């Protein structure tokens, strides 16, 4: 599963960074909403999608997202927000949140710190994000609003713990933690979160993650995302995963929720739509980059999926 997940993560061009350290003393309660503009100190341009996360290094906190139950997170645990929902962090229930943005103090290098609370028991966290240029990523859509992981139990425990210590020390020294180490840390956190979450899925569940968890279907997903413009056929994918055509289609469809070539087409068009708003490539160049040799065929497929031609969608995006 991890190999397939790694292929998918690479295909959506993920970047990451750690930008804020928080020092809280009880009682305290803050409301948090990370925006694309908040990431600009670490990224060259505003990302399309964001997963925000908090690493608790000391103490404990409660986290709440609208329509979700309250979760407790302690030292050594990490809470991720795959849809980047606004959320509340507090040391106890029943407190009125203060906007974290109002409390943020900028350090000399562009990072931020928060010192807040009533002087009681201490909680320390640092905050980061994982960002994607793509406007749609099936992984992000599949995950729940809140994921709590314990890196002490994970397969990447030693690497993650060392990277967490590095990021914390950089922020403590007033330096923005923006190195390749921190980008890899963010990716490792997401990989570990997905691995732990997928392990909780029941046998009756269906969806993209369920497919990723299956050795045969996960391998097929890795192949598709590893080379999206390759001329994949159902037969070729079935051979790669050592299944008959019929067994492969049945297994893929039952787990992912659609046949393999429909999934390939869907993902190609989603990738193209994302790139239409982010590049000056011609329609023909974009069509070729996602596996279409004919601009006309690409345009027809795009219009069936999104209700307008690629050229019209590009104009619509530019004017919106």
- Same-domain check for residues 11 and 131: yes
Give the global pTM.
0.71
More confident call, 158 vs 21: 21
Residue 246 lies in a domain: yes
More confident call, 126 vs 299: 299
- Same-domain check for residues 177 and 37: yes
How many structural domains does the chain have?
Answer: 2
Mean pLDDT within 20-31: 95
Going by pLDDT thresholds of 50, 70 and 90, the confidence category of residue 143 is confident
Asked if the model's pLDDT at residue 252 lies above 60, the reply is yes
Residue 240 lies in a domain: yes
Find the angle CA(175)-CA(178)-CA(179) to the nearest 5 degrees. 110
Asked if the model's pLDDT at residue 177 lies above 90, the reply is no
- Coil, strand, or helix at residue 37? helix
Asked if the model's pLDDT at residue 62 lies above 90, the reply is yes
- Same-domain check for residues 36 and 138: yes
What pLDDT shows up at residue 251? 94
Residue 11 lies in a domain: yes
- Same-domain check for residues 108 and 212: no
Mean pLDDT within 99-104: 94
Return phi, psi of residue 305, to 5°: -80, -40
What pLDDT shows up at residue 35? 85
Long-range contacts of 270-276 (CB under 8 A, 24+ apart): 270/134, 270/135, 270/136, 271/11, 271/134, 271/228, 272/298, 272/302, 272/310, 273/135, 273/136, 273/302, 273/306, 273/310, 273/313, 274/48, 274/133, 274/134, 274/135, 274/136, 276/310, 276/313, 276/314, 276/317
Residue 148 lies in a domain: yes
- Same-domain check for residues 136 and 41: yes
- Same-domain check for residues 14 and 75: yes
Domain residues for the domain of 168 are 2-198
Q: What mean pLDDT value characterizes the chain?
A: 82
- Same-domain check for residues 252 and 308: yes
Q: Which of 168, 198, 228 is the last residue of a domain?
A: 198
What pLDDT shows up at residue 228? 86
Residue 81 lies in a domain: yes
What pLDDT shows up at residue 116? 97
- Same-domain check for residues 49 and 100: yes
Residue 47 lies in a domain: yes
Interatomic CA distance for residues 258 and 256, integer angstroms: 6
What pLDDT shows up at residue 171? 63
- Same-domain check for residues 53 and 124: yes
- What digits encode the pLDDT tens for the residues 206-251? 567 778 778 899 889 888 887 889 999 999 999 999 999 999 999 9
- Same-domain check for residues 11 and 148: yes
The DSSP code sequence of 136-195 is: --HHHHHS-S-EEEEGGGSTTHHHHHHHHHHHHHHHHTT--B-SHHHHHHHHHHHHHHHH
- Same-domain check for residues 167 and 301: no
Going by pLDDT thresholds of 50, 70 and 90, the confidence category of residue 16 is confident
Quote the distance between the C-alpha of residue 225 and its chain's center: 16
């Amino acid at each position: 599963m991890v190999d397939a997940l790694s292929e998918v993560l690479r295909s959506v061009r993920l970047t990451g960074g750690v930008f804020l350290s928080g020092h809280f003393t009880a009682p305290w309660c803050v409301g948090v909403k990370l925006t694309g503009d908040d990431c600009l100190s670490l990224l060259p341009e505003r990302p399309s999608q964001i997963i925000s996360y908090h690493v608790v290094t000391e103490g404990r906190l409660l986290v709440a997202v609208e329509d979700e139950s309250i979760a407790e997170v302690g030292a050594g645990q990490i809470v991720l927000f795959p849809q980047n929902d606004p959320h509340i962090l507090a040391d106890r229930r029943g407190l009125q949140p203060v906007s974290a943005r109002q409390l943020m103090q900028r350090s000399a290098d562009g990072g931020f710190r928060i010192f807040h609370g009533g002087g009681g028991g201490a909680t320390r966290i640092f905050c980061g994000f994982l960002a994607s240029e793509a406007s749609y990523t099936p992984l992000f859509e599949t995950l729940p609003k809140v994921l709590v992981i314990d890196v002490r139990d994970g397969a990447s425990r030693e690497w993650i713990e060392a990277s967490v210590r590095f990021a914390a020390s950089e922020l403590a020294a007033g330096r923005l933690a923006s190195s390749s180490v921190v980008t890899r840390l963010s990716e490792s956190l997401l990989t570990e979160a997905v691995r732990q979450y997928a392990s909780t899925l029941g046998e009756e569940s269906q969806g993209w993650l369920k497919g990723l968890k299956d050795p045969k279907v996960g391998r097929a997903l890795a192949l598709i995302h590893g080379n999206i413009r390759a001329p994949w056929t159902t037969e070729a994918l079935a051979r790669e995963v050592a299944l008959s055509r019929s067994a492969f289609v049945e297994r893929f469809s039952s787990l992912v929720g659609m046949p393999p070539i429909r999934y390939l087409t869907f993902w190609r068009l989603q990738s193209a739509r994302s790139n239409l708003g982010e590049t000056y490539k011609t329609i023909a160049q974009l069509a070729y980059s996602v596996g279409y040799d004919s601009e006309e065929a690409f345009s027809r497929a795009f219009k069936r999926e999104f209700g307008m031609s690629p050229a019209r969608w590009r104009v619509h995006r530019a004017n919106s």
